[in-house]
Structure 1
């Protein structure tokens, strides 16, 4: 192999050897976006290869030129020095002599680990002499490792932000009622402060354990104790990682045989031969109350002879009271049909769907039993158009609804869409669709599955019969998902309300990108609200903005206005004062640290908002590095409050079940970029400037809109950058901390029931304060009764 001379404009350094981990960076001044493959050498021998494409605080440019490689003990012991080169080049960029200096032991100043009730340990860990060094952390019971992780969240360490905070999720086997003493060490074998510690947990929580411990308590004392324990666990919820799903499902699968409330017959329409476990010969545990009939569609006929499918579905609907579809290889949980049937008997219910699980899409042959739980939201029509999640689980539909459909299903994939269209045509309320948050179907194949162009065309036709302004298109990066977009014939006027206090660079960048990357076929007003700016250059910029004439904005036009708000900072009051000055039909609340990324963002939000029944629309907000900052707001997070989701996802990641790429409903979205009607803003009293002057006013606003029966949408079709709290700063000062605590208390007092039963979140999913949403399973699951998407009072 020929080795070319290395250009002098390429620089590289080994910055640290932490234990066996070599770190450094390589950067090319002439090609700052180039990320190189590097080699670690010793005595002319290759030890390791890596890509210099990670963030390193010392790297030039964007910093995304760092590398990390792990060497073995043998490699380090037999090397007097290690060298850094580019892959396939011999010229040395940097050399580190060995042995490295011994590493200092941990103290309270460099580490901490703690346990609160649950199967989660959390803490922080930094290398004492080199805070930016990457370290791993592991938990051991005796000599046996039980959990490991790497610090993944940023924290302030001696006035510099380092990636030091970690979460260790312990296995479900440790929740067996016995104490477990754990030792917590870093990747160099050094024990953390707070270690060892004892974990003592029960899978069903404290209440069942106390009941067994003191079984002879008077009933009124027992009820009082249980109520107190339930409240305690409500604010300190437990969780377990997805890797423990098989044990979790075994522990919490529905086992009690339900009493069938109404007699009836269920038809199961199979694509392929019925799975014996789901269609056991001669076995019917519900006797005469509930009968099950099986209808089989030969896979060879699917897609070739739609008449065969329609005839089979019609036969099932004529002979049965309700129909569901399954695929060969699928199995049902014990009592699944009885549970779904009972839920269907609740007043006005026309369709019931359940959660499900499926094989891991990237499972290896060695791990062929790995399964992924799919824990769904309450009924969300917008999300259903992006993915057929009704058809993912057990979807049981009343036969009368299918028989009366003006546009019946013509193929297997249209079953749930035909049912929803029939509901819409009949004027049925959304409460006619009920979600049963139990994992009742085990799918044989990964989900979602690809559909044909013909199927997409049929879905598009169904969508436009319900909403003539809506379209579906395939998602470019996520096969099996669809983009939901709308357009309008007439575009309402919009005011973008932008509060600011100095921070001129941010404000100028915000306005410049809005003007450059907004194409809106209507009138847009930029209303900047100046809250006591002090710097002369800010005043000069705002004075010029006042004098700025109307100008084109894509297919529309934009005007400018500046409003003074010379009072103490109160985010809610600032926006309320601004909205009072507006006469536009729509109001967009926009932070001054927002940057627009593409021309369609405002059109996509406005068109969704103008759909009947929509109260507010939020955008997909990204950190400057491309990670998701706001992917919607969920209730119940972080101690019964509310929090953003998606912070561990990149912009193009699918997210949990694809939700990072789907227009969908949430209970709230952030006011950093929020669009709503001015009339609705006034109808709910705007932002509450007394209870929520700074934080949670957007959550409160959205929940007030939900209380009016309006829906809150979040869409990835509007993408903007948001540097959260860039001008306001974090709530760390004592007076700010006291105000933040009061706002948290106010949110819990006003909305605790709605937050803890958020229809967008599943009671099977964890609310552990130390874990991000959609990363854990609740221990134990919260109440799993059938639910609609209505806001609970």
Structure 2
């Protein structure tokens, strides 16, 4: 009998270990010793449950040298799920293909241990938040996720809301909160607002709690214990109910009062479709009311030629476009459809039907494709109307569009009329309204904001000349610029009504300009060529390769500028302000006047003695109570400079070209009276890119709190444009204009609104004001004099507010700011929509 064989020790097939856990990132290596070139697949276990596998195929040359294998590709990396970042203990393990344990390399002593590891990861983020509470029928608050490593503040967090311990709703905190961004920086899209449905409103106090999910972190200010029913409202409703029982004749009026007591949600741009449907009903009613008041009828209606070039259109969209013209309440029109060599039998057949049914529809066939400009020119040549309207083959006219345009133009000598517009998608949803300003030449240089719907008098259009094929893609922008060369600005009429729907399809420029990059180049050339024709020297370039253009004027002369800075103590701030001016101003022809408003410290006296050693700086002491208007007026009265630059001592310059930029903007035309800049908070958020005015709030800084690099509404945070007012925290003023309107009002507006009042005086006298967004500075708002919200300032502020309403209440500039749409609320964070209606 043979002796038994001795037992042979088992040779390990696999080698490796995991050597680091950096946050959620797991790294290590593994090798199949019997087949070194074959990558090993490891199994990842979390809390004894397999959550995935990882292939060891990454470079690890350090390991290759130590174990002597042929391949360096034996490393791995695996990212653990977000759920492990919860501050709780977890067990982590890896298994070789034979399910044996992958060892771990201990970080503390470098020893290899054949066991799983236990780890704990604290949440990476912290949260800043606040629950504002319950107001106007809704719960409101905000939350930002803060990365401690980078300091980045992100919005769009998910929030779970409970009522009395029971789940109520989950919301995403992504509503715009400019106040939050202004105060602490970060993403302004961090707010939430949750309406309480009426069927869930019950008497008595309720406990509302708010938590960020999935982290389950409770928001600051949570929980909130409040009643969701206003006791006063309940009492009023009971009283009204008793009155209705007694006085049936007043029931309709009483119901109106009840409705007025019910909080109404504010519409934002995100709610535009809902807003628009109510608006179009209102628009039609207003047009019909005017029609009835004027006697109605078609007598005296000028003929409008609607030019519609087409090339292989989507038939459904094309039919809808034609039907929208047929539906016009203005009956004296002709529709000239130019088939640009499309040779579509379907289009031809459908158009033949239309032409037989309605003689106002005419088809013009071109033998070959000549492009949008050539096709439009052919249509214009065939037009018989007094007015020409431009219409794309897949867009839509609102049914009262032409009638409303002529109602607005009645009694005026308009030669060009344009309206607002929006977009419509294939589902019929209204989107992205373009609520335009009244005619703004400076804005038109930056983008063709006029676009649709545009009517041009036929004789004027023919004088301007044909559309030019070399600008295809921007041919309408080129045409509009050429029209401004022959049509005075007061003969260009804006009708602030949405009368045109631009079709938004996957391949249209309404969806993405990237589909037509040639249009970007054509637009740059169109603007540059126009400026050459009118004698301007300027550099034109596209911003970020889209159809908006930055125009930088060349400085043709170098007038003197006096920079006027009032201050009182606050020497550290004032010193830095002046130092930045002296160091960061390449333009040489300036001087600085520091208006010392009764500074009381030795530090201030030393600073004044020191700073005047620079010959460019002087100090004017004014020992009077603080009166911002008077301080600036006194300094301006002693200056012989052609321009004044009024600024706060907490405005810090960083661009050495700043004064050259703002001065060249002022010198671009003789009727420009003032120029403002784009001012940012230290956080990088927008503090100022122009001021809108109106009786519902006197004035507001538009785009306040928006990220500094955001385009803003239709590019208005990056493109220079005309505005009704700018802030005197940094404002260049032509001395001639300043003296013409008697400077700032130092009697009635000593502190607040003096810059708004001054700008309104300039505009009323015929001067234009430019918001120059190429001039950027940082404004530490509030350092210079504090806030008007403090009790000691309240009475003065209320009186200055009252004065503005009394002085400007009947002025058209104040009643409807020409640079700001009447469809927007004045009191808002970011372009909230006003109640649907119109403005004549």
Correspondence 1:242-321 to 2 at 5 A: 242-253=269-280, 254-256=283-285, 258=288, 259=291, 262-272=301-311, 273=313, 275-280=318-323, 283=326, 286=329, 289-297=332-340, 308-309=374-375, 311-316=377-382, 318-321=383-386
Q: Which moved more, 1:642-651 or 1:402-411?
A: 402-411
Distance in 2, matches of 1:369 and 1:482, equals 29
Matching residue of 2:492: 432
Matching residue of 2:579: 512
1:404 and 2:463 matched: yes
More helix by share: 2
**TM-aligned CA distance change 1:191 to 1:523, over 3 Å:** same
Matching residue of 1:737: 794
Matching residue of 1:186: 210
Aligned residues: CA RMSD: 5.0
Correspondence 1:576-655 to 2 at 5 A: 576-610=633-667, 611-636=669-694, 639-655=696-712
Query: Offset at 1:263?
Result: 3.7
**Any gaps of 5 or more consecutive residues in structure 1?**
13-40, 48-68, 84-88, 202-211, 550-558, 786-793
Matching residue of 2:773: 716
Query: Offset at 1:562?
Result: 1.1
Distance in 1, matches of 2:590 and 2:726, equals 22
Distance in 1, matches of 2:122 and 2:570, equals 48
Matching residue of 2:476: 415
**TM-aligned CA distance change 1:421 to 1:576, over 3 Å:** same
**TM-aligned CA distance change 1:197 to 1:266, over 3 Å:** farther
**TM-aligned CA distance change 1:281 to 1:483, over 3 Å:** closer
Matching residue of 1:484: 551
Q: Which of 400, 413, 431 is 1:335 aligned to?
A: 400
Query: Offset at 1:71?
Result: 6.4
| Counterpart secondary structure, 2:526 | helix
| Counterpart secondary structure, 2:565 | strand
Query: Offset at 1:765?
Result: 2.2
Matching residue of 2:266: 239
**TM-aligned CA distance change 1:120 to 1:573, over 3 Å:** farther
| Counterpart secondary structure, 2:817 | coil
Matching residue of 2:357: none
Matching residue of 1:783: 838
**TM-aligned CA distance change 1:589 to 1:298, over 3 Å:** farther
Contact 1:586–1:675 at 8 Å: present in 2 too? yes
Q: Which of 376, 380, 387 is 1:322 aligned to?
A: 387
**Any gaps of 5 or more consecutive residues in structure 2?**
1-15, 24-44, 52-79, 93-104, 109-117, 146-152, 234-243, 292-297, 344-365
Distance in 2, matches of 1:548 and 1:216, equals 81
Query: Offset at 1:742?
Result: 1.9
Distance in 2, matches of 1:303 and 1:463, equals 31
Q: Which has the larger radius of gyration?
A: 2
Q: Which of 752, 755, 758 is 2:817 aligned to?
A: 758
| Counterpart secondary structure, 1:352 | strand
Distance in 1, matches of 2:638 and 2:605, equals 21
Distance in 2, matches of 1:287 and 1:688, equals 49
Contact 1:351–1:395 at 8 Å: present in 2 too? yes
1:375 and 2:455 matched: no
| Counterpart secondary structure, 1:315 | helix
Distance in 1, matches of 2:738 and 2:528, equals 33
Query: Offset at 1:432?
Result: 2.7
| Counterpart secondary structure, 2:277 | helix
Distance in 2, matches of 1:200 and 1:378, equals 44
| Counterpart secondary structure, 1:240 | coil
Q: Which moved more, 1:295-304 or 1:525-534?
A: 295-304
Contact 1:587–1:675 at 8 Å: present in 2 too? yes
Deviations 1:399-427 (A, max 9, x none): 1110111575445532354244334324x
Distance in 1, matches of 2:248 and 2:397, equals 36
Matching residue of 1:66: none
* Structure with larger RCO (C-alpha < 8 A, sep 6+): 1
Query: Offset at 1:238?
Result: 6.6
**TM-aligned CA distance change 1:404 to 1:568, over 3 Å:** same
| Counterpart secondary structure, 1:533 | coil
TM-score by length of 1: 0.72
Query: Offset at 1:578?
Result: 1.0
Contact 1:268–1:292 at 8 Å: present in 2 too? yes
Query: Offset at 1:766?
Result: 3.2
Matching residue of 1:149: 173
Contact 1:138–1:149 at 8 Å: present in 2 too? no
**TM-aligned CA distance change 1:536 to 1:408, over 3 Å:** same
Contact 2:420–2:435 at 8 Å: present in 1 too? yes
1:113 and 2:173 matched: no
Distance in 1, matches of 2:746 and 2:708, equals 33
1:530 and 2:596 matched: yes
Matching residue of 1:497: 564
Distance in 1, matches of 2:548 and 2:369, equals 20
Deviations 1:502-545 (A, max 9, x none): 2222222212222222222x510111111122332332222122
**TM-aligned CA distance change 1:284 to 1:644, over 3 Å:** closer
Q: Which of 412, 418, 441 is 1:353 aligned to?
A: 418
**TM-aligned CA distance change 1:143 to 1:179, over 3 Å:** same
Deviations 1:578-621 (A, max 9, x none): 11121100000011111112122211211221212212100011
Matching residue of 2:71: none
Distance in 2, matches of 1:133 and 1:481, equals 28
Query: Offset at 1:44?
Result: 11
**TM-aligned CA distance change 1:544 to 1:143, over 3 Å:** closer
Matching residue of 1:32: none
Query: Offset at 1:336?
Result: 2.2
| Counterpart secondary structure, 1:730 | coil
| Counterpart secondary structure, 1:604 | helix
Contact 2:539–2:552 at 8 Å: present in 1 too? yes
**TM-aligned CA distance change 1:44 to 1:629, over 3 Å:** farther
Distance in 2, matches of 1:331 and 1:90, equals 70
Contact 2:154–2:190 at 8 Å: present in 1 too? no
Q: Which of 739, 750, 760 is 1:682 aligned to?
A: 739
Distance in 2, matches of 1:46 and 1:641, equals 64
| Counterpart secondary structure, 1:239 | coil
Contact 1:354–1:441 at 8 Å: present in 2 too? no
Distance in 1, matches of 2:456 and 2:776, equals 37
TM-score by length of 2: 0.68
Correspondence 1:455-474 to 2 at 5 A: 455-474=523-542
